[in-house]
Homo-oligomer: A and B are copies of this chain.
Amino acid sequence: MSSSSATRRVTDTRRSREISIADIARVAGVSHTTVSRALRDSPLISEETRKRIQQLALEMGYTPNAIAQSLQTRRTSTIGLVVTSIADPFLSEVVRGVEEVARSAGLSVFLSATHNDPAQEIAVIETFHRRRVDGILVASSRITGEYKQRLDQIRVPTVLINSQAESQYELLHWVAVDDVAGARLAVEHLLTLGHRAIGYLGTNSRPRSCRQRREGYQAALASAGLVPREEWVIVMAAEEASPQEDVLCGRRALQRLLDAGVTAVFCQNDMMAVGILMACYRRGLAVPAELSVVGFDDIEMASYISPPLTTVRQPRIELGRLAMQVLLDLLQDQEGCNHVLSPMLVVRESTAQPSTSRPATRR
Partner-B contacts on A (CB < 8 A): 7, 10-11, 14-16, 18, 61, 63-68, 70-71, 74, 76, 78, 85-87, 89, 92-93, 95-96, 99-100, 103, 108-113, 126-132, 153-155, 157, 243-244, 247, 274, 277-278, 281, 300-301, 304-307, 333
**Contact, CB under 8 Å: A74 / B155:** no
**How far is it, in angstroms, between the C-alpha of A301 and the C-alpha of B86 when the chains are bound?**
15
Sample (16) of A-B pairs whose CB atoms are under 8 Å apart: A15-B74, A16-B155, A61-B153, A63-B130, A67-B70, A86-B96, A87-B92, A87-B93, A87-B96, A89-B300, A108-B131, A109-B110, A110-B110, A244-B300, A281-B307, A301-B304
**How far is it, in angstroms, between the C-alpha of A103 and the C-alpha of B244 when the chains are bound?**
23
Kindly provide the distance from the CB of A150 to the nearest chain B CB, expressed in whole angstroms: 9
Kindly provide the distance from the CB of A35 to the nearest chain B CB, expressed in whole angstroms: 17
Known A14-B333, A111-B111, A304-B247: A130·B65 in contact at CB below 8 Å: yes
Residues of B within 8 A of A95 (CB): 86-87, 111
Kindly provide the distance from the CB of A103 to the nearest chain B CB, expressed in whole angstroms: 6
**Contact, CB under 8 Å: A68 / B65:** no
Pick the residue among B87, B154, B157, B274 that contacts A304 (CB under 8 A): B274
Residues of B within 8 A of A109 (CB): 110-112
Residues of B within 8 A of A63 (CB): 126, 129-130, 154
**Contact, CB under 8 Å: B306 / A157:** no
Residues of B within 8 A of A78 (CB): 131
Pick the residue among B7, B110, B127, B305 that contacts A305 (CB under 8 A): B305
Kindly provide the distance from the CB of A256 to the nearest chain B CB, expressed in whole angstroms: 21
**Contact, CB under 8 Å: B111 / A99:** yes
Residues of B within 8 A of A67 (CB): 67, 70-71, 76, 131-132
Pick the residue among B14, B127, B130, B243 that contacts A300 (CB under 8 A): B243
**Contact, CB under 8 Å: B86 / A112:** no
Known A67-B76, A99-B86: A306·B333 in contact at CB below 8 Å: no
Known A86-B95, A153-B61: A110·B112 in contact at CB below 8 Å: no
Residues of B within 8 A of A281 (CB): 306-307
Residues of B within 8 A of A132 (CB): 18, 65-67
